Structure 1
C-alpha cells in the first residue's frame, strides 16, 4: 500500500515559488505496475524521489508498508572518489546487507554492469554510460517490494536497454514497478494503471492507456512543413 497524505511540495525559483503538489491525497492501487505521465516540470521525478526517501515534501507524508527502492538508475548519489565496489558496499551497509548477502549483491552488480576492471576504479573516472550501468545494476541487485524507475531505459546502447527490459520483466514476477517514461510503448508493455500529474495534483486511471491518451492530448502539436502551427487539441 502507498498512500499520499496531504502531500505538498514546492521549489523556489527566480520567478517565485513553483508548487508541484498541493495537499495531495491519494491511494495507489495495490499489486499493480503503474505508469506516471505528465508534462515537463509536472513533478514526476520529484514524486519518485519523495517516495524513494531521497527528497522530502514541504508538508504531508507518504505512508507505505512496502520496501521501496530508490529511483532506479540514480547515479548522482555515488561518492566519486570511491570505487564502484566501495559504493556498492556502502549502499549495502545503509540497507543492512552484510556478509554473504552483500557478496551476492556485489556479484550481481558486477555481472550486470559489465564494466570489467573499472569496478575497482574510482567512479569519477567513469563515463556517463558506465555510471548508468553501475547504478541500474545496484538498483536491481537489491530486493524490494516496489521498484521506482525514472527514464533509466532511455539511456545506453541497445544491448544495455535490452538487458534492462529483460531484468524488469523478470522482477515483475515477484515485485511491482512505478515507471516514469516518455516512451509510450514501454509504459503500455510494463504498466497496468496510469497516473497523470497536473495542476498541483494527480489523477489515477484504471488503465495506463487512459493516462496516455490524456498525456497525448495535452502535448503541443508539431508544426506543419509550411511552418503553420496545427491548432491544439481540445479535451472533452
Structure 2
C-alpha cells in the first residue's frame, strides 16, 4: 500500500448511474427535444447502476471487468467527461486522465500545439507548459514528430504524448485506462516506473486487463459486472474470483443490448 494513504477521501460516489439515450429512428431525437416533457422517444441503456465507492488519498485502485461492463464509463464520469444520470459524485484534487486526454487531441494540430492545449485543459498556465515542454518531449520520445500533425501519429505515439503531458501536470489523481496496452515494451516500462514513483504521493485509478499489472500497482481491486460492483477488496482475492467467473460463466452478448438486464436503473 502507498505510504501516503490517509483517511482523506478524494473520490466519493454514491449510487452513481449512467444511461445513454438510444433512438430507434433518426427523427426521434427531435421529437424528444420538442415533446420530451410529455413522453420519452428513446430507450435508456444503463451502463452504470448503483455504483458507490470511496477512494482515499494515496490509494491505488485497479478496476477489472469484461469488455462493455462499464469500467471506462465510470472513469469518464469521475474525470468529468460525461455527467452521471443519477447519484452523487465528489472529487477532491486535480485529475490527470491519460487515455481521455489522448482521445481529445486535435488531429490537425501538431504534437507541440496539443501539448499546450492539453496542459491548459489540465489546469496548467501557458508559462508552466512552456517551462516543462522539453521534459514532456523527452519523456514522450517521439522526436521530430512533435512538430507534425497528430493525425500522422500511431495510437502508441498519441498515448506516449498523452501520458507525458499527464506526468507533468502535478496531479493528485492519475487515471489510466488501458493506456499501457498500446505502447511498446520500453515505454511501458518507463510508464510503470513513473507510476511507481507517483504512487508514493498520489492516488491511482487503473483499468487494465493485465492482472499482473493490477497486482503490482494496486492495493485494492474493484470488479465491475454489468454496470454494478460485483466484488471489491484485496487484488489477489478479487482477481481469483474474476478468473473463476471467466472460466465458468458464459460471455453474454446481451450486456451490449439496450432493454436487457440494464433496462431500468433499479430493481
Q: TM-score range by the shorter chain?
A: 0.7 to 0.9
Conservation of the 8 A alpha-carbon contact between 1:188 and 1:208: yes
- Pick one of 135, 146, 154 that aligns with 1:119: 146
What is the CA deviation profile of residues 135-175 of structure 1, one whole-angstrom value per residue up to 9, with x for unaligned ones? 11112121111101111111122111111111111211221
Q: What are the ranges of 5 or more consecutive residues in structure 1 without an aligned counterpart?
A: 223-236
* Structure 2 segments unaligned to the other structure (5+ residues): 1-8, 25-42, 250-267
Q: Choose from 7, 26, 44 the match for 2:16.
A: 7
Size of the alignment, in residue pairs?
222
The answer to whether the Cα contact below 8 Å between 2:101 and 2:118 also exists between their aligned partners in 1 is no
Cα contact 1:73–1:152 (8 A) shared by 2? no
| Secondary structure, aligned partner of 1:148 | strand
Q: Which has the larger displacement, 79-88 or 167-176?
A: 167-176
Q: 2:209 aligns with which of 178, 182, 187?
A: 182
Deviation at 1:17, TM superposition (A): 3.5
Q: Is 2:116 the partner of 1:79? A: no
- Aligned residue for 1:155? 182
Deviations along 1:12-63, whole A, 9 cap, x unmatched?
4589543122233332344211011112211001111111111221122320
Distance change in 2, residues 1:98/1:74 (3 Å): closer
Aligned-pair distance for 1:5? 2.3
Shift of 1:116: 1.1
Report the TM-score when normalising by structure 2.
0.76
Once the two structures are superposed, the pairs formed by residues 89-100 of structure 1 within 5 Å of their partners are 89-100=116-127
Q: Is the 8 A contact 1:43 1:197 kept in 2?
A: yes
Identify the residue that residue 142 of structure 1 maps to in structure 2: 169
The TM-score normalised by the length of structure 1 is: 0.85
Query: In the alignment, which residue of structure 1 is the partner of 2:38?
Result: none
Q: What stretches of structure 1 move > 3 A for 4+ residues in a row?
A: 12-17, 71-74
The answer to whether the 8 A contact 2:16-2:87 is kept is yes
What secondary structure is seen at the aligned counterpart in 2 of 1:141?
coil
Matched, 1:200 2:227: yes
Query: In the alignment, which of 85, 94, 114 is matched to residue 58 of structure 1?
Result: 85
Distance 1:124 1:99, change over 3 A: closer
CA 1:29–1:93 in 2, change beyond 3 Å: closer, same or farther? closer
